[in-house]
Amino acid sequence: MVIEEKPIKSEKFVDNHLNNILVVDDELAIRKTISKYLGKIGYNVDIAEDGMIAIEKMERDSFDLVLTDLSMPNCDGRELLKTMASRFPEIPKIVLTGISSDEDILIALKTGAYDYLTKPIDDFAVLRRAVERALEVKNLSDEKKRYVEQVNQINEVISMLNRGKNTDEVFKALNISLKEVIAFNCLKLMMVNPQNNTVATKLVESDREVKMEIGESFPLEGSFLMDVYEKKDVLIINDLKDFFSTHQDSGTDTSLIDEGMGSSLILPLIIDDKTRGFLVFVAVEPDFFRESHITFLKSIVGQISFSIQRGELLAELEVHSKNLEYLVKARTDEVLKTQKTTVFALSKLAEIRDPETGEHLERIRNYAVLIAQILKYSGHENEITNQYIRDIYDSSILHDIGKVGIPDTILLKPGPLTKEEFEIMKTHTTIGYNALKSSSKDLGKNSFLNMAMDIVHFHHERWDGSGYPMGLREREIPLSARIVAICDTYDALTSKRPYKEPFSHEKAVGIIKEDTFHFDPDLYKIFYENSTQFDKIRKQFQADN
């Protein structure tokens, strides 16, 4: 009489990833007894009558624990243990045997068996504790691996985000990198217009035909995004058809369904504690998105928001530099006065102009903005506001305005300055400061020229107190001047001067590293960790020497 063998499944719900067990024994009664017991206490159990069958099953399916006898036909437990040690080392093993020897125990230990139990099992509580402990160790090991893998994935995503210069590049980098973690079919960037409280699709990457046109907008109020907007939390829609059947006024229901999509995950983009937009992940399959996806995305959403905001800011700065007159008209009367004063002050530089100056100023302002942005999102949100970043962009280019008062024989000297000449050169800080002070006395406290005066006056001060003109040290030096100091030093090293050829990026970084005591340690760390970005800016605005 042949007894039909079937894998035993627990009647209650079990997490298959954590609880799949394979029982390997050539005795049918033992296989059935152990399988039945483990199934009743909540595990998914499969069985094999020898090591050969067990190996075949492990090649096909995923197991979290193997219980094996030692004495079996074909491939016995000893060979199975050795094979598992080399091919399936991550799966814990418990040895069950009726006949044990010192050699068997040694083999079990050498091949990484978690425990060694003798048959017959009289007390199943002993088996249960052994299984629970082995699975707990496996679970901890898997969690560690998942954590390391997730950290690596996060680092890869952040690395790709940092390469993007504008919102389009950031979005494309996101689509590429996140698809390696979450196999979605479509990614949309939707931005909120706070002026009219509408939402518009700004960018889309999809492997399906997109039905909603780029730029098409709908009211935020009454849409399914309103809840995400207010709660600032992730929303998963497991079945789009079912969801939109009860959300008729959502604005985008027909487009997503017409595109053949089944489920969606909406991630709010929080900037300055306000929801400024949404990343919409969409998949063809219903019930596609998981809690693990939320956990991963929440770990990087801050960096995503920062990168998108940075792209928007850099785009704004680019427009600002190309069309300054248009932006001036849109500013307040105070900024209009400031702009006129700036134009007047800059006009004084017409008499003395280094051919390299224009590119130098573009590099300085971009270096300064880069450091200020990174500092802002490193815990200095209150000190580094968006206005601060705009001001340092505008004011940093005036740092050497005082050189208008330095004679050509010193300013353009093709060799080292004498001590007396250097003392004259140092006066450019006070010359520039006094010029700006006299020109901006009626502009008020909010003028960017107030920051410019700090930069002009103190950008040659040093963290250790060895700078000029006043010998200030550490935080006595205004932050804006400390930022420009490191930017100006890097640019001076990598630029051609009358008395030297430009140093390479690598050599300049090395020189600054040797003189770190001259700079704010926090700012030096930002410079050093992001030196490749400095190199990119340098190349982007490289003058033809």
Axis-axis angle for helices 419-426, 428-439 (nearest 10): 20
Torsion of CA 105, 110, 114, 117, to 10 degrees: -10
User: Do β-strands 93-97 and 186-193 pair in parallel, antiparallel, or remain unpaired?
Assistant: unpaired
If we measure between CA atoms, which residue out of 226, 219, 184 comes closest to residue 205? 184
CB 114 within 8 Å of CB 137: yes
Question: Are 360 and 495 contacting, i.e. CB atoms less than 8 angstroms apart?
Answer: yes
User: Do 129 and 169 touch, CB atoms closer than 8 A?
Assistant: no
- Is pTM, for the whole model, over 0.85? no
Please, what's the largest Cα pairwise distance for the chain?
111
CA dist., res. 250 & res. 219, Å (int): 9
47-51, 225-229, 354-358, 467-471: least confidently modelled range:
354-358
Average pLDDT of the chain?
80
88 pLDDT exceeds 80? yes
Q: Among residues 308, 140, 282, 278, which one has the least CA distance to residue 211?
A: 282
Query: What are the two backbone dihedrals, phi and then psi, of residue 84, each rounded to the nearest 5 degrees?
Result: -65, -35
Tell me the C-alpha distance between 461 and 464, whole Å.
9
Task: Give me the residue label for tokens 């330095």.
Answer: 406
Give the distance from CA 189 to its chain's centroid: 17
Q: Which residue has the higher pLDDT, 255 or 207?
A: 207
Structure confidence by residue, pLDDT tens digits, 301-333: 777 777 777 666 666 666 656 665 554 455 555
Residue pLDDT, tens place only, 193-233: 888 888 888 888 888 887 767 777 888 887 878 888 888 88
* 214 close to 201: Cβ distance less than 8 angstroms: yes
Phi, psi of 259 (to 5 degrees): -80, 0
> What are the residues whose beta carbons fall under 8 Å from the beta carbon of 413, sequence distance 6 or more?
421, 498, 499
Query: Residue 352: what are its φ and ψ, rounded to 5°?
Result: -125, 110
